[in-house]
Amino acid sequence: MSTRTPTSGVFDTETRPATGPRVRNRVEVGDDAPVSISDRSTANRSALNAPSKSGSLGRQVARHLRSRIMQGEVSPGARLPSETEIAVDYGVSRVTVRTAITLLESQGLVDVRHGSGTFVSDFGTEIKAGIQELRSITETIREMGFTPSMERHKGETRAASEHESKRLDLMPGEQVLDLQRAVYADGEVVAYSFDVIPTKTLDAQMLERMGQGSVFEVFETIGITPARAMAELHAVSSQEIAWGPQKPEQGLFLLLDQVHFDKDGKPFMYSKSYFVEGRFQFVILRTR
Amino acid sequence: MSTRTPTSGVFDTETRPATGPRVRNRVEVGDDAPVSISDRSTANRSALNAPSKSGSLGRQVARHLRSRIMQGEVSPGARLPSETEIAVDYGVSRVTVRTAITLLESQGLVDVRHGSGTFVSDFGTEIKAGIQELRSITETIREMGFTPSMERHKGETRAASEHESKRLDLMPGEQVLDLQRAVYADGEVVAYSFDVIPTKTLDAQMLERMGQGSVFEVFETIGITPARAMAELHAVSSQEIAWGPQKPEQGLFLLLDQVHFDKDGKPFMYSKSYFVEGRFQFVILRTR
DNA sequence: ATGACGTAAGTCGTCCTACAACTTTGCCTA
DNA sequence: TAGGCAAAGTTGTAGGACGACTTACGTCAT
């Protein structure tokens, strides 16, 4: 056996913080001969069924490992089980585990050291507000522990401008939904959002719902899944952007100018998000 | 043989745009038995020696593939050679090629489709100024096709401020090198760089060289390799930042406020880079 | 001639086994 | 006690094999 006894079982580390009750998943695999050293073996194979059905096996494992790390099952700086252990745990090959870990490493979440092990990055868990991960503003606000809300300032259909139709790959003069909203976190305005959405793929009912809740939720109901976004960053100083009683005095914003693409590479939304400087912290983990 | 003849040899694709003269790398390996079907075999194995000596083999291959893609050897949307072909070409195993491609995929540079092939992302090549990849400003400028240059405005040692010593994990009052420089691209100022470097790990000679060329090159000579940077983004409007004849009038900047860490997680530099709004395009590819 | 279908080839995804390179620990020796 | 050596553990790379998926092409019935 190990002479170092670093981490023995299924993600329990010596420096583990107070974690919630470990959910033991029933083993319902049954295809390969179970190694079954004791109870704790191929325990997480079944866990890959639930919400992470999509994508390759490696991606599924990556997603699952990621959520476990984010939930604090392993404290930053602590070592993960060896690749072999994880492979046995999930009932997959070591190759699959490696692709998963490579993915996590490229996201800056873990730190792989040759001959030593894979460690949870010291920052890793802080990057929740990171830009590079594609998630909606409200989602990000919620993850940061605030309560997000929206106020619709404008919502009408009009012809797309030349610039917009170029970005969205539209014919000139095509109709778009012009959505202007203020984004709040705990009642304080943090951003002004200007979204432009082609109406050709939407019916009247959809148009109405767009104004209300999360835009992305509506897209999901019609089978459009955001896969990528091409974003530009700019500093903007202007009095023409904000409105309302909480309009910031100095008019200084960080602009996220981006086009959203679905999984087929088709653009489906063009949005300009003006973040009030100082109210919203953008953190990026840059890696080699 | 292939009945489809998609791409045959070493990265030549049917839809390739007008690329510059293909630089054929001399084969100067000599350690492993050359397969040598003709000229075009294990051609790129040697290419991994030159500037990309560091990191695992997979990373080296990734770096090399990346530069080839960036140079336009394959046009966006076109297919890369199969993993097997690339493996033979570089004289490495398919496993290594896969880790390389996984890396490129996570950076949004390529798009892997099961059963079909690996394709260069439509955006991919536009991300040259991407933030998430950790590279020096001068390096980025050079990759964009401009000629970078620097002008040192200030370079003196002083005691670290409280804020700086907190970021750099220093004792209060410790000495730091305060470096203030203007960054030019083709003679036009694009950024103002404020770097703070603890002097305890540097001797007098190093301090002098810091002001001259690339800061990162000096760090490399003393064995410090930048591995990560934790960056914050801000919009700044101020007249106190720039200097010189090209000082921008409106004083609007995009601030990249970042701490650099080496591979051991130790901070070794704190820098504020003020990019003149409009002169430098920040593009981020956001992925799920 | 044309359209649907099956087939075959190509490519990525996963698995297995083995070994090399590296790191850490701990014991052994001088 | 200090130094070095050996062993065990871990990640990196290799080679071969097969499954899953995609695409092009030829065949066959209409």
Residue A143's pLDDT band (cuts 50, 70, 90): low
pLDDT number for residue B115? 94
- Asked whether residue B114, judged by its CB, lies under 7 Å from any atom of the DNA or RNA strand C, the reply is yes
Inter-chain residue contact B235 with A232, CB threshold 8 Å:
no
Global pTM reads 0.74
DSSP β-bridge partners for residue A181: A152, A193
Q: Which two tokens stand for residue A209?
A: 């719902």
Among candidate residues B81, B50, B80, the one with its CA nearest the CA of residue B63: B50
**What's the pLDDT tens digit per position in A183-224?**
998 999 999 999 999 988 777 777 777 766 678 878 877 777
CB B102 within 8 A of CB A102: yes
pLDDT number for residue B16? 29
pLDDT number for residue A83? 97
Distance of CA B107 to the CA centre of its chain: 12
CB-nearest to A234 from B108, B236, B277 is B277
Interface test with B, best of A233, A236, A249, A254 (most B CBs within 10 A): A233
Rounded CA gap, A186 and A6, in Å? 43
Rounded CA gap, A94 and A96, in Å? 5
Q: What mean pLDDT is predicted for residues B81-101? A: 96
Q: Enumerate chain A positions whose Cβ falls within 8 A of a Cβ in B.
A: 56, 95, 98-99, 102-103, 106-108, 114, 122-123, 131-134, 226-237, 250, 252-255, 258, 265, 277-278, 281-288
Inter-chain residue contact B226 with A123, CB threshold 8 Å:
no
- Asked whether residue B5, judged by its CB, lies under 7 Å from any atom of the DNA or RNA strand D, the reply is no
Mean pLDDT of chain B: 77
CB-nearest to A277 from B122, B230, B235 is B235
Q: Select the more confidently predicted residue: A78 or A5.
A: A78
CB-nearest to A282 from B122, B233, B250 is B233
| Neighbouring C-beta atoms of residue A240, cutoff 10 Å | 7
> Which residues, in sequence order, are CB contacts of B201 under 8 Å at separation 6+?
B222, B224, B268
**What's the pLDDT tens digit per position in A98-109?**
999 999 998 888
pLDDT number for residue A49? 58
Residue B53's pLDDT band (cuts 50, 70, 90): low
Query: Terminus-to-terminus CA distance in chain B, angstroms?
Result: 37
CATH T-level topology, domain B130-276: Chorismate lyase (3.40.1410)
Q: Which of the four CATH numbers 1.10.10.10, 3.40.190.80, 3.10.20.90, 3.30.460.80 does domain B1-128 have?
A: 1.10.10.10
Q: What mean pLDDT is predicted for residues A148-157? A: 90
Q: What mean pLDDT is predicted for residues B227-244? A: 91
Rounded CA gap, B259 and B67, in Å? 26
Residue A112's pLDDT band (cuts 50, 70, 90): very high
| The 3-state secondary structure of A85-139, one letter per residue | HHHHHHCCCHHHHHHHHHHHHHCCCEEEECCCEEEECCCHHHHHHECCECCCHHH
Residue A130's pLDDT band (cuts 50, 70, 90): low
The whole-number Å distance from A65's CA to C1's C1' is 57
Q: Select the more confidently predicted residue: A246 or A230.
A: A246
DSSP β-bridge partners for residue A272: A194, A257
* Nucleotide minimizing C1' to CA distance for residue B4: D24
pLDDT number for residue A274? 95
Torsion of CA A219, A225, A228, A231, to 10 degrees: 10
pLDDT number for residue B182? 94
Q: What mean pLDDT is predicted for residues B230-255? A: 93
CB-count burial class (<10 Å; 0-12, 13-18, 19+) for B6 = middle
**What's the pLDDT tens digit per position in A24-74?**
222 222 222 233 333 344 566 656 655 545 678 999 999 899 888 877 888
CB A135 within 8 A of CB A216: no
User: Does the structure show a pLDDT above 90 at B132?
Assistant: no
pLDDT number for residue A128? 47
CATH of span A129-276: 3.40.1410.10
Q: What mean pLDDT is predicted for residues B207-222? A: 76
Q: What are phi and psi of B190, to 5 degrees?
A: -120, -20
Q: What mean pLDDT is predicted for residues A260-269? A: 82
Inter-chain residue contact B126 with A258, CB threshold 8 Å:
no
For chain A, the structural domain boundaries read: 1-122, 129-276
Q: What mean pLDDT is predicted for residues A11-28? A: 30
Residue B181's pLDDT band (cuts 50, 70, 90): very high
Q: Are strands A252-262 and A267-276 parallel, antiparallel or unpaired?
A: antiparallel
Q: What mean pLDDT is predicted for residues A243-269? A: 89
DSSP β-bridge partners for residue B234: B255
User: Does the structure show a pLDDT above 60 at B128?
Assistant: no
CB-nearest to B281 from A98, A131, A232 is A232
User: Does the structure show a pLDDT above 50 at B55?
Assistant: yes
Distance of CA B83 to the CA centre of its chain: 24
pLDDT number for residue B91? 95
The whole-number Å distance from B3's CA to D29's C1' is 26
If you measure CA to C1', which residue is closest to nucleotide C11? B115
Rounded CA gap, B232 and B279, in Å? 20
Strand D contact nucleotides, protein CB < 7 Å: 8-17, 20-25
User: Does the structure show a pLDDT above 80 at A271?
Assistant: yes
If you measure CA to C1', which residue is closest to nucleotide D15? B93
Among candidate residues B16, B131, B188, the one with its CA nearest the CA of residue A234: B131
**What's the pLDDT tens digit per position in B140-179?**
787 677 888 899 999 889 999 999 999 898 988 899 999 9
CATH of span A1-122: 1.10.10.10
Q: Given phi > 0 = left and psi -120 to 50 = alpha, else beta, which region is A46? A: alpha
pLDDT number for residue A22? 25
Write out chain A residues lying below 8 Å of B249, CB-based. Answer: none
Residue A1's pLDDT band (cuts 50, 70, 90): very low
pLDDT number for residue A134? 64
| Neighbouring C-beta atoms of residue A207, cutoff 10 Å | 17
- Asked whether residue A61, judged by its CB, lies under 7 Å from any atom of the DNA or RNA strand D, the reply is no
Mean pLDDT of chain A: 77
User: Does the structure show a pLDDT above 80 at B134?
Assistant: no
Inter-chain residue contact B108 with A228, CB threshold 8 Å:
yes
* DSSP annotation string for chain A: --SS----SSS--TT--------PPP----SSPP--SSS-SS-STGGGTSS--SS-HHHHHHHHHHHHHHTTSS-TTPBPPPHHHHHHHHTS-HHHHHHHHHHHHHTTSEEEETTTEEEE-TTGGGGGGBSSB---HHHHHHHTT--EEEEEEEEEEEEPPHHHHHHTT--TT-EEEEEEEEEEETTEEEEEEEEEEESTT--HHHHHHHHHS-HHHHHHHTT--EEEEEEEEEEEE-SSS--STT--SS-EEEEEEEEEEETTS-EEEEEEEEEETTTS-EEEEEE-
**What's the pLDDT tens digit per position in B27-47?**
222 222 222 323 344 566 566
